[in-house]
Structure 1
Amino acid sequence: MNLTELPYRTLAIVRGTDRDAALRTVLTLAEEGITAAEVSLTTPDALWVITRARRELGPRATLGAGTVLTGEDAARAADAGASFLVTPGLGEDLRRSPTPELPLLIGALTPSEVITATENGALAVKLFPASLGGPGYLKALRDPFPTVPFLPVGGIDAASALGYLAAGAVAVGVGSPLVGDAAGGGDLDALRERVARWRTALTEEVAA
């Protein structure tokens, strides 16, 4: 899994209140070119969503589970067809995860947490919540950690996404500014319009 090759350097975060709407959201995002998505385990029947999306999108889909907190979460997500796992942090139970084959995006904010994430094999450090420091904080972190791949998440819109990518992020994770209310039953045409605007905004930076 190469995060720099994600379309538009974007990982969509689907966190909804309705399983069918969440599934439709994942599939619509893929249809519109945002083919990398994580389904938060806080979504009702999230594992069902992952299983059905995997069936629809095939084995090569970049489809993961988010808000993974425990080793049991990780194992169940792997069984459902997730190809990567995203955590808000790293607890002791998750360090003993029985799914070492799945890439981990481990949440961290402070330098000590960044070190812990990298020591535990993170494919990338999920800088969360990124909005606390903005692109300037990412730039400051990259001074002592120039080789660590960072993926900022939290409060990111198209304008700040460009700032993070310019500061050296490998990709960005984006939730409501892109997904909106679609995963709760909102209008899919409105979702398609947001995706179109996102693609336009990100194309220049990704092509650079």
Structure 2
Amino acid sequence: MIAIIDYGAGNIFSVKNALDYLGFENKLTSDKNDLINADALILPGVGAFPEAMKMLGNSGLIGVIKEEAKKKPLLGICLGMQMLFEKGYEFEETDGLGLIGGKVDKIVAPGYIIPHMGWNKLEKLNDCPLMDGLGDNEYVYFVHSFQAYCDDANIAAYCEYPDKVPALVTDGRFVYGAQFHPEKSGSTGLQILKNFGGLIK
């Protein structure tokens, strides 16, 4: 079972619909026992980093997420991906979950529209099981004004806007993050979610 973490700041229903379509057993939940008993976790997120981290803190789930991420697949989506990092700088400095080294700050793209919104090509950087079965001309859907700044070793794929913006990140073990919305990215996004579900042992 995949637990979709419901802490009040996520686009949870579109993620659930995508998992239902793919045939994965899943549950929207804010119960820590569900997270412990789940085979994998998804952390969605929309809105601002400080408020989302506050809501996650109020849910009492931060500790169990950190513990479970040591032993089962976890996928952060959009703001949920950003929350995987150590620090965020949207409005104010805020601690993230610290599951991947690095920070989240404004996209620096002179002459480009911010937020970065729409379809952009995935550029592969490092091997990642979530990209199995994907070709070299895959496009996914983004909506964000902030990006991750981290080591290349943690970047599985990026997009160009105009510089390298991390699109798919990982700690190299169980933790993954998608800056884009796989549940809104057509067949490419569904393949990525299918690959995530395939990590369940």
**What TM-score, normalized to structure 1?**
0.34
1 or 2, which has the higher helix percentage?
1
1 or 2, which has the higher strand percentage?
2
**What TM-score, normalized to structure 2?**
0.34
